[in-house]
Amino acid sequence: MSYYITTPIYYVNGEPHLGHVYTTVAADVLARHMRQRGEDVFFLTGTDEHGEPVAQAAEREGVTPRDLADRNAERFKAVATRVNATNDFFIRTSDPEHHAVVSEIVTRLKAGGHVYEGTYEGFYCPRCADFKTDSELVDGSKCPIHLIELEREKEDNWFFRLSAFQEPLERLYADHPEWVLPSNRYNEALSFIKGGLRDFSLSRARISWGVQIPWDPDQVVYVWVDALFNYYSALAYARQGEDLTDRFWPATVHVIAKDILKFHAVFWPALLMAAEIELPKRVFIHGYLLMDDHKMSKSLGNVLDPFHVMDVYGTDALRYYLLREVAFGQDGSVSPEGFENRYNTELANEYGNLARRVLSMIASYRDGLVPEADPPAELARELAGLVEEVQRCLDRVEVSGALDAIWNRVRALNRFVQESEPWKAAKDPERAGELDAVLLGAAEGLRVVSVLLYPYIPETAVKLLTALGREDRSLDAARFGAAGGGARIGELGQLFPKVEAAEPSTA
Ligand code: ME8
């Protein structure tokens, strides 16, 4: 089956930060997991380069929007690589191929009677690229998100008849109660729709940085319309000489945060209906990472800078922390101190030490060969159903739910090793069979959790599976007992080394 997953395309008006990393990593976990399942996966991320957010930032810096976009798009690309994202393509809305698709679609919208000429009068926030109703404003005239003073604008432009989609959208929500997840976000979007939909401007007259309206060269396509169609346009040109649209459209899931719910859960399906394009199957809305926790950490200082974390602790540690600390779908705080806690207690102790311990026992008690034995029934019970549980969670985009389920088994394996005390059996030749079963069970359990952890901590999981002499990381391999004994184990360095406190900065 095909599985097409997207992140938002990020604005190039600023630097990539932890919030962007969060969404990209979560989407990457899903993409990697679905590949493990043998699905035909396409994973898209990229940059949103038009409109006021970028044009104004460029003006402030005294460069052209294109220069700013070129510079920052490179940074976003580099971040995707740095976090080990396995995106199949990186779209930039300044790509000429994307322009062509947007022009064609707005032309089609007009031909279909969904576009009319009108006058917009009201408030507009250039940072959100969003029109604000009077009731949304703070202190009478400020953007509720950016708290900047907005001016009342009046301009003639082209309107999209969103109001005509009130009923079709209500029907979409009634027929597909899980098309927006989690359910609180579904309710929020539905109540926005039920509150009455107003037509919105499909074009802007004031700026020129964007896709020209084909029948009116004085206007450019509203940046959100331009941006949303990236999910569709990318498939047409991501692979040279090949159109992937039939293979991957409609998208399986768009992963976004709650800031852009309205655009994805209301505007987007209406635009697609108008353009007579099939709707994506799901939008998943995650929460915000709250980063204002100023507790001091020994090695990281007081801000969780993702690049610093990756430099000091490695990419896997950051990926793990983000998806473990905050329930995916809810808001939650992240902090350097919280990071260190999870790194030391969970990654280094619960997983890293478990791995080292099991491998060193196999090395010293069984000359480095995983023994042949029947796996212990209690472990088999503990791990039964785990693959299905992880699949069920990830089908519903519960990225941290799946990780919790896996981690519970990491803890169960630790208990198993602790309680079965193989070091005692190793001293008694009569208990050789028992020792074989414990070592085989522990190795097999470690292998199973590592296959399932692969999407979250890919570098570490590959190291561990290699050291276990079992490199198959398909989901079928994640069944307890699938591999059995006989493998020769290899060397495993320290997976999550202790990091000493950073020297106090002398700057
Ligand atoms: O909105 N916590 O781009 P953007 C969690 N170009 N996620 C966060 C976050 C935080 N504190 N801050 C940002 C745009 N994000 C548009 C999108 S899509 C067709 C166009 C993540 O650069 C989260 O995914 O402002 C959020 O939705 C996105 O960055 C917004 O990125």
Select the more confidently predicted residue: 502 or 11.
11
pLDDT surpasses 50 at 507: no
The distance from CA 331 to its chain's CA centroid, rounded to whole angstroms, is 15
The Cα 467–Cα 67 span in angstroms is 47
**Percent of the chain surpassing pLDDT 90:** 89
The answer, yes or no, to whether any atom of ligand 1 lies below 6 A from the CB of 9, is yes
How close is the Cα of 48 to the center of ligand 1, in Å? Answer: 11
The Cα 418–Cα 360 span in angstroms is 15
**pLDDT tens digit sequence for 29-64:** 999 999 999 999 999 999 999 998 899 999 999 999
Pocket test residue of 6, 9, 21, 23 for ligand 1, highest count of atoms within 8 A of CB: 23
The answer, yes or no, to whether any atom of ligand 1 lies below 6 A from the CB of 19, is yes
Find, among 338, 343, 327, the residue nearest to 402 by Cα: 327
From the CA of 260, give the closest atom in ligand 1: 27
**pLDDT tens digit sequence for 322-378:** 999 999 999 999 999 999 999 999 999 999 999 999 999 999 999 999 999 999 999
SS3 408: helix
The Cα 77–Cα 79 span in angstroms is 5
Q: Name every residue whose Cβ is closer than 8 Å to that of residue 424 and which is 6 or more positions away in sequence.
A: 431
Global pTM value = 0.96
pLDDT surpasses 60 at 6: yes
The Cα 113–Cα 485 span in angstroms is 67
Of residues 33, 50, 110, 125, which has the active-site annotation? Answer: 125
Write the DSSP string, 325-366. Answer: HS-BTB-EE--HHHHHHHIIIIIIIIIIIHHHHHHHHHHHHH
**Catalytic residue list contains 125:** yes
The answer, yes or no, to whether any atom of ligand 1 lies below 6 A from the CB of 179, is no
Question: All domains of the chain, ordered by start, with CATH?
Answer: 2-286 (3.40.50.620), 335-477 (1.10.730.10)
Q: Do the Cβ atoms of 278 and 250 come closer than 8 Å?
A: yes
Pocket test residue of 13, 22, 231 for ligand 1, highest count of atoms within 8 A of CB: 22
The answer, yes or no, to whether any atom of ligand 1 lies below 6 A from the CB of 76, is no
pLDDT surpasses 50 at 169: yes
The answer, yes or no, to whether any atom of ligand 1 lies below 6 A from the CB of 339, is no
- Please write down the HEC assignment for all residues of 25-50: HHHHHHHHHHHHCCCEEEEEEEEECC
| Maximal C-alpha separation, the chain | 90
The answer, yes or no, to whether any atom of ligand 1 lies below 6 A from the CB of 223, is no
From the CA of 230, give the closest atom in ligand 1: 19
**Catalytic residue list contains 463:** no
Find, among 2, 4, 13, the residue nearest to 227 by Cα: 13
How close is the Cα of 42 to the center of ligand 1, in Å? Answer: 20
Average pLDDT of the residues of the chain: 95
SS3 201: strand
**Catalytic residue list contains 146:** yes
**Catalytic residue list contains 393:** no
The answer, yes or no, to whether any atom of ligand 1 lies below 6 A from the CB of 14, is no
Of residues 20, 254, 264, 286, which has the active-site annotation? Answer: 20
Of residues 98, 128, 132, 286, which has the active-site annotation? Answer: 128
Q: What is the mean pLDDT of residues 397-420?
A: 98
How close is the Cα of 17 to the center of ligand 1, in Å? Answer: 10
The answer, yes or no, to whether any atom of ligand 1 lies below 6 A from the CB of 284, is no
pLDDT of residue 301: 73
The Cα 305–Cα 243 span in angstroms is 39
The Cα 416–Cα 49 span in angstroms is 53
Select the more confidently predicted residue: 171 or 132.
171
Of residues 146, 194, 294, 424, which has the active-site annotation? Answer: 146
The answer, yes or no, to whether any atom of ligand 1 lies below 6 A from the CB of 389, is no
The answer, yes or no, to whether any atom of ligand 1 lies below 6 A from the CB of 20, is yes
**pLDDT tens digit sequence for 96-145:** 999 999 999 999 999 999 999 999 998 999 888 888 888 889 998 999 88
502 band by pLDDT with thresholds 50, 70 and 90: low
**Catalytic residue list contains 50:** no
pLDDT of residue 296: 60
The Cα 495–Cα 375 span in angstroms is 26
Structure tokens at 15: 């630097």
Find, among 422, 410, 418, the residue nearest to 496 by Cα: 410
Of residues 77, 143, 286, 393, which has the active-site annotation? Answer: 143
The Cα 379–Cα 424 span in angstroms is 19
**Catalytic residue list contains 33:** no
**Catalytic residue list contains 143:** yes
The answer, yes or no, to whether any atom of ligand 1 lies below 6 A from the CB of 257, is yes
Q: Name every residue whose Cβ is closer than 8 Å to that of residue 264 and which is 6 or more positions away in sequence.
A: 228, 254, 256, 283, 285
